[in-house]
Chains A and B, each alone.
Chain A
Amino acid sequence: MGMKWAVLGSGRFYFWLMTVPAVLYVVVWRLAPAVYTLWLGLHTYNIVYDNAPRWNHLANFVQIARDGALRQSLGLSAKFGLIATAAEVLIGLAAAMFFDTDPPGRNLLLGVFLLPMIMAPVVVGTAWGTLFDRTVGYIPYVLHLLHVPQPDWMATPGTAMFALLVADAWEWTPLVTLLLFASLQAIPREHFEAARVDGASGWQLFRRIILPQVTGMVLVAAGLRLMDAFLELDKVFVMTGGGPGSSTQFVSMFVYKQAFQFYELGYASAVITVLLAVLGAAYWLYLRSYYRALGAANL
């Protein structure tokens, strides 16, 4: 039997048998929707009122170039992505270093700490939306007890954005912590001991030993989080609906509204195409600088 499989394995049949499922997956689940999106982006198509897509001479892309609301959404997404990523990396690094000191009950603590990460984003959004709610929320209630002047969290642009950042950091800091904790655990303990013998301070340990050895992972974590936070939708949908006004209408929410509130599937597809191109370029630049940084570190 084994002999037969080995013979088959060197033949063309086995090659195609093993390859076709993967090719089918890529073509059907990845490539076809992407090509369809690109094709739709070249057409005017109102999903409800148009019978079929109509070629529109790149009008969608012209509209993208002069769409102020889209520009605003892109700016808001970038702002949210950068702040959320910075906060998550900083808090995540601090938490990872804490867990690396091997505190009592570390595994239990780590398990609890990682819980938000496995929750559905919609659940996270609902929970934080309720916590910040002016009528029934725990946060306004505590602030009221402390006689702290409280803003109308979801009705003011700045505080609505802050609430989203808090929810995002709560959900995704554990991921950063997990990645950085794994990286910290890989640092040989002898490095710390030798440095301490030489009289290195805590800051010097961090600056000279920890940081150089976790930089790669910090970049990975930051890259992952930035791309994910840039496309944030679930929590925005649940907590603010993009408001007040358009102050939290990130780019994913913008696309959602175009596709499923205005039913302009053609325009929404064009925006997705452009976004994909921009994010792809950014990701390529990121990877290039990442490998350069790794190369420099190896030298």
Chain B
Amino acid sequence: MLRQPRYRVAATVFAMLLVAVLVTGSLPQTSRAQSMTTLTFLGPDFDEWVAFVKVANEIGKPMGIQIKPEYLPWDNVFQKALIDYKSGVKTWDYVYVYNTWIPGLAAAKAVIPIDDLMTTPAAKKAVAPEDFISLTTVGLQFQNKLWAMPMLAAPYMMGYRTDLFADPTEKKAFQAKYGYPLAVPQTYKQLMDVAQFFTRKAGATLMGKPLDQDFYGVVMANKSGGFLFHRYEHILVAFGGDLIYDPKTMQPTVNSPQSIAAAKYYVALHKYMEPGSESLTGGGAERIMASGRGAIAMDALDNMLSVLPVAKLSKIVGKVSYTLLPTQVASRPHANVGDANGLAIYALTQHKAEAFKLATAVLNTQGTKQVMKEYPALIPMRSSVIKDPEVRTNYPNVFNAMSSFINGKPYTTFIPPLKEWVQAQDIYEQALSAAMSGQQSVEDALSGAQAKVVDFFKRQGYVK
């Protein structure tokens, strides 16, 4: 018998070891895989969804279900869900949805309506639709169906620095300059005055102390891709404008007088915002506010609550209160556009029953409270959660802000049911960005956008 060369022996031993490791390593995984169903979640890399996944894995464990997330930038999720569905990709079970995406996803049939899954009394009980705060969940409906399990409302509000508004020096100076007392803005005229008043360069004084950095009247996120339009749309509605078109006639109204007035206002207000706001998302803008460099933040309530009261992130803990957006047109008091986030079940899921079971278990009253423990800024969409004494006690910011929102009875509208909404919004947003950067005047930018939307609507067959 010929003797094997040493390197062959070594290679054989190494290969056997490798096989042994792989076999022993894979055995428990196989057995785990046999007992656990893995659901995949396509969503944004936001704290609340990280919290959701964590809680879902805890709740799902005894049910034999686990979630594997795939996090993408927020504005890419919609695009990926649509294209993946159209391409027949069966990877996903859950898709995060934002209310403006619902018409597009629903029209493409990329997600399954929750109503279609409530086929038994037990299933209906698990969803408990009567418990939803309809003011917040309307945005997740399309053609009389609910397309996602409501997870998080994000009403747009103002967070303002209570210490600044109470400071006697600032009050005196404001009164002297504008002829009326300094107060939390109730109108957009007052907001502009306040924003202008508090915008100061480093070296100037604020509350009697010199500033070591520039200070901004209003802090907002203006990144293109949706963030800019989602801040601006409230002002557009407050000024009496349509959301891009008149749903009754389908005629685009991008350059209507109301729209032009709103855009001019926003461009003027932009002068008092933090520089670089064009590249900031909500989280980034709130970091600026939290660093003590802004007087007022206008943002989704949960964005503000996830940063401003958090000691390790914020220098202004205990110095911020939340109130409704200002009013411009009297018939639309504190106008705002509803904002809702939910969990949809992907149309090509291979685990429809398990996905529904886990979604209803995590987003019921107890599950939502569990998610709130991980993400205390969560604005629940179930009245049972808001009314829960434990929530009232443990999350006073959420409770107080939501109470003021609900009791203030703001004029709330939702984006119209247009499947091409995201595209139409992109056209308007680009025009607004052009006006803000000085590339074009407001009138030219919006007239150009109007022509584009008309052309777009013609191609879709909405107008002739």
- A135-B280, A243-B278, A246-B430 known; A155-B437 Cβ under 8 A: yes
Given contacts A48-B82, A133-B279, A261-B426, is CB(A155)–CB(B225) below 8 Å?
Answer: no
> Which residues from chain A contact B452 at a C-beta distance below 8 Å?
69
Complex Cα–Cα for A262 and B430 (A): 14
- Give the contacts of B243-278 with A (CB-CB under 8 A): 275-278
B108 touches A154 (CB 8 A): no
- Near A by CB (< 8 A), chain B positions 426-464 give 426, 430-431, 433-440, 445, 448, 452, 456, 459
Shortest Cβ distance from A241 into B: residue: B224
Question: A203 on the interface (CB 8 Å rule)?
Answer: no
How many interface residues does B have (CB within 8 Å)?
A: 36
- A154 neighbours in B (Cβ, 8 Å): 276, 278-279
| CA gap between A157 and B448 in the complex, in Å | 17
**B295 CB–A CB distance under 8 Å:** no
Is B437 a contact of A157 with CB atoms below 8 Å? Answer: yes
Cα-based distance from A266 to B365 in the complex (angstroms): 47
Task: Provide the bound-state CA to CA distance between A244 and B440, in Å.
Answer: 11
Give the docked Cα–Cα distance between A68 and B452 (Å): 10
Query: Is residue B284 within 8 Å, beta carbon to beta carbon, of the partner chain?
Result: yes
Cβ of A228 under 8 Å from chain B: no
Residue interface mask B64-106, A partner, CB < 8 A = 1: 0000000000000001001100100000000000000000100
The one of A48, A68, A135, A242 in contact with B288, judged by C-beta atoms closer than 8 angstroms, is: A135
Judge whether B107 is part of the interface by a CB distance below 8 angstroms.
yes
Given contacts A47-B86, A261-B426, A262-B423, contact A134 B279 (CB under 8 A): yes
Bound CA–CA A208/B422 (angstroms): 60
Residue of A nearest to B284 (CB): A135
Contact B83 A48 (CB under 8 A): yes
- Tell me if A290 is interfacial: C-beta within 8 Å of chain B: no
Q: In the bound complex, do residue B280 and residue A244 qualify as a contact, i.e. CB atoms below 8 Å apart?
A: no
Nearest Cβ in chain A — how far from B80, in angstroms? Answer: 10
Q: Is A49 an interface residue (CB 8 A)?
A: yes
Per-residue contact bits, chain B 318-358, to A (CB 8 Å; 1 contact, 0 not): 00000000000000000000000000000000000000000
Chain A residues in 8 Å Cβ range of B288: 135
CA distance A262 to B459 in the complex (A): 12
| Interface pair B86/A244, CB less than 8 Å apart | no
Could you tell me if B276 and A152 are in contact, using CB atoms closer than 8 angstroms?
yes
For A156, list chain B residues within 8 Å (CB).
437-438
B419 interface residue per 8 A CB criterion = yes
CB <8 Å contact, A244 and B433: yes
Out of A47, A241, A245, A264, which one reaches B434, CB within 8 Å?
A245
Given A135-B284, A260-B83: A246 touches B276 (CB 8 Å cut-off): no
Please, how many angstroms separate the alpha-carbon atoms of A241 and B426 in the complex?
12
CA–CA, A7 and B250, complex, Å? 75
For residue B435, which residues in chain A have a CB less than 8 angstroms away from its CB?
245
Minimum CB–CB distance from B124 to chain A (whole Å) comes to 31
Contact call A47/B83, Cβ cutoff below 8 A: yes
Quick check: B107 and A244 within 8 Å, CB to CB?
no
On chain A, the residues within 8 Å of B107 by CB distance are 49
Give the contact-size bracket for chain A.
20 to 34
* Interface residues as binary, B1-13 with A (CB distance below 8 Å gives 1, 0 otherwise): 0000000000000
Contact B430 A245 (CB under 8 A): yes
Q: How far is the CA of A68 from the CA of B449 in the complex (A)?
A: 11
The reply to whether A246 and B108 form a contact with Cβ atoms under 8 Å apart is: no
Residues of B within 8 A of A242 (CB): 224, 430
Q: Does A247 contact B (CB under 8 A)?
A: yes
Least CB distance from B40 to A in Å reads 21
* Cβ contact within 8 Å between A48 and B86: yes
Contact (Cβ within 8 A) B275 A244: no
With a CB–CB cut-off of 8 A, which chain A residues contact B430? 242-243, 245-246
A141 close to chain B: CB less than 8 A: no
Whether A243 pairs with B224 at a CB distance below 8 angstroms is: yes
Of residues 233 through 271 on chain A, the ones whose CB sits less than 8 Å from some CB of chain B are 241-247, 257, 260-264
Interface pair A247/B419, CB less than 8 Å apart? no
The CA of A241 and the CA of B223, in the complex, are separated in Å by 10
Q: Are B278 and A49 in contact (CB under 8 A)?
A: no
Closest A residue by C-beta to B278: A155
Q: How far is the CA of A48 from the CA of B105 in the complex (A)?
A: 9
Q: Contacts A152-B276, A154-B279, A155-B276 known; A247 to B83 CB distance under 8 Å?
A: no
- Contact A247:B437 (CB < 8 A) given known A135-B284, A154-B279, A155-B276: yes
Task: Give the complex CA separation of A260 and B82 in angstroms.
Answer: 10
CB-CB nearest in chain B for A44 = B459
A128 to B84, CA, bound (A): 31
Contacts A261-B426, A263-B82; is A244 near B437 (CB within 8 Å)?
yes
Residue among A47, A156, A245 with most chain B CB within 10 A: A245
Given contacts A47-B83, A48-B83, A135-B288, A157 and B280 within 8 Å (CB-CB):
no
Closest A residue to B440 by CB, please name it.
A245
Cα(A47)–Cα(B88), bound, Å: 12
Distance of A154 Cα from B275 Cα, bound (Å): 10
- Asked if A261 and B79 sit within 8 Å, CB to CB, the answer is yes
Q: Smallest Cβ distance from B92 to chain A, in angstroms?
A: 16
Check A261 against B423 for contact (C-beta < 8 Å): yes
Pair A155/B224 contact, Cβ less than 8 Å? no
Q: How far is the CA of A155 from the CA of B422 in the complex (A)?
A: 22
Which residue of A has the minimal Cβ distance to B426? A261
Nearest Cβ on chain B to A129's Cβ, whole angstroms: 8
Q: List 24 A-B contacts (CB under 8 A).
A: A47-B83, A48-B83, A49-B108, A68-B448, A134-B276, A135-B280, A135-B284, A152-B275, A152-B278, A155-B278, A155-B437, A157-B437, A241-B224, A242-B224, A243-B430, A244-B224, A244-B436, A244-B439, A245-B433, A247-B437, A257-B426, A260-B83, A261-B426, A264-B459
B residues sitting closer than 8 Å to A (CB atoms) are: 79, 82-83, 86, 104, 107-108, 224-225, 275-280, 284, 288, 419, 422-423, 426, 430-431, 433-440, 445, 448, 452, 456, 459
3 shortest A-B CB distances, which residue pairs?
A: A245-B434, A134-B276, A244-B437
Q: A152-B276, A257-B426 are in contact. List 12 more A-B contacts (CB 8 A).
A: A48-B82, A49-B419, A135-B276, A155-B277, A155-B279, A241-B225, A243-B224, A243-B437, A245-B434, A245-B436, A245-B440, A264-B459
